[in-house]
Amino acid sequence: MGLEVHPTGYDVGAEIKGVDLGKPLTAETVERIEAAFRAHQVLLFRGAQLEPQAFVDFSASFGALRRHIQAAFRHPTVPEIVYNRNVDDDGKFDEAGASRGVTNNLREGWHSDSSYEDPPVKATSVHALEIPSSGGNTCFASAYRAYETLPAAFKERIKDLKAEFALGRNKRNDQTKALTAKLPKHAKEEPTVAHPVVCRHPETGRPAIFANPLITVRILDVGDAESEDILETLFDHIHAAGTSDEHWEHQWQVGDTLMWDNRGGLMHSGRKDYPLNERRIMFRCAIGASAIEAYAAAA
């Protein structure tokens, strides 16, 4: 069977069939997967239980891998991998690990990975090793849809604005405290970065909201009250897109691999609604790099 693309039927997402993730990908296969990635933003590959190096090799097919800032969760022998896991090395529950990538409050958890960096990563890949008996879905919101639903006057108001992004220093969002509990001191002191509030996807050209509730600290060059008003409006629209009838959330199975886009157009968050006494362990890689382009500047 050759490569097949099966869209979810929702705003985002498609399952890719007919690809063996444990073997090197041909240039043609990579090109076809990249085309599906542009069209669907999140790709699902099922049934491949991968060893660490095989997962790294697959992920590196789509860009140079970046070692994640959360060094405490790096794989001991393959540092391009970080764990998303709710247990420590001794198998005991780890609150900091359990808080990575999931949230009790979905509206406050939406984000685009490494938006606290400049440039952020192009894509994220995640591979499921162990999953709980229920819950822990990863939810996706179309930031394209979120932008499209904004009133015209509001789009005009925000078209040239930039926002400040930081990991673990977002006083607007208490979730970041647990998320960054094991972050090294030097990483917590990294300079904040600025990105456009509204971005243009570098390949599709479509506009999308890039400010996100987990990592965006404030709107630059406006007063505090106006910053708060703008952010709350943006986050309402992101959450509406992520809970509409058109949104997709993935129910994990062991052996699943997801790859999602971080260049604009997509937000995601996991649900921290699973039994915390059950293990949830995944590999994760950060793929490539992509500067965030302002939409108005490209219009």
3-state SS, one letter per residue, for the chain? CCCEEEECCCCCCEEEECCCCCCCCCHHHHHHHHHHHHHHCEEEECCCCCCHHHHHHHHHCCCCEECCCCHHHECCCCCCCEEEECECCCCCECHHHHCCCEECCHHHHCECCCCCCCCCCCEEEEEEEECCCCCCCEEEEEHHHHHHCCCHHHHHHHCCCEEEECCCCCCCCCHHHHHCCCCCHHHHCCCCEEEECEEECCCCCCEEECCCCCCEEEECCCCHHHHHHHHHHHHHHHHHHHHCCCCEEECCCCCCEEEEECCCCEEEEEECCCCCCCCCEEEEEEECCCCCEEHHHHC
Contact 289, 114 (CB under 8 A): no
pLDDT digits (tens, 9 = 90+) for 239-292: 999 999 999 999 999 999 999 999 999 999 999 999 999 999 999 999 999 999
- How much is the pLDDT for 164? 96
Cβ(219)–Cβ(231) below 8 Å? yes
Q: Compute the Cα dihedral for 108, 110, 113, 116 and give only its sign.
A: negative
Q: Edge-to-edge strand order for the sheet containing 138-142?
A: 102-103, 266-271, 138-142, 248-250
pLDDT in the model for residue 113: 96
Q: Given this model, what pLDDT does residue 95 score?
A: 87
User: Of the candidates 104, 147, 294, which has an alpha carbon nearest to the alpha carbon of residue 234?
Assistant: 147
pTM of the model: 0.94
Sequence-distant (6+) residues with CB within 8 A of 23 are: none
Closest CA to 99 of 72, 81, 124, 120: 72
Which residue ranges in the chain fall short of pLDDT 50? 299
What pLDDT digit, counting tens, does each position of 2-19 carry? 899 999 999 999 999 999
| pLDDT of the residue at 179 | 65
pLDDT for the residue numbered 169? 65
pLDDT recorded at residue 40: 98
pLDDT of residue 2: 87
> Both tokens of residue 261?
């886009």
CATH of domain 4-291: 3.60.130.10
What confidence score (pLDDT) does residue 192 get? 87
For the chain, report the end-to-end CA distance as a whole number of angstroms: 42
pLDDT at site 129: 97
Q: What is the pLDDT of residue 96?
A: 85
Q: What is the pLDDT of residue 111?
A: 95
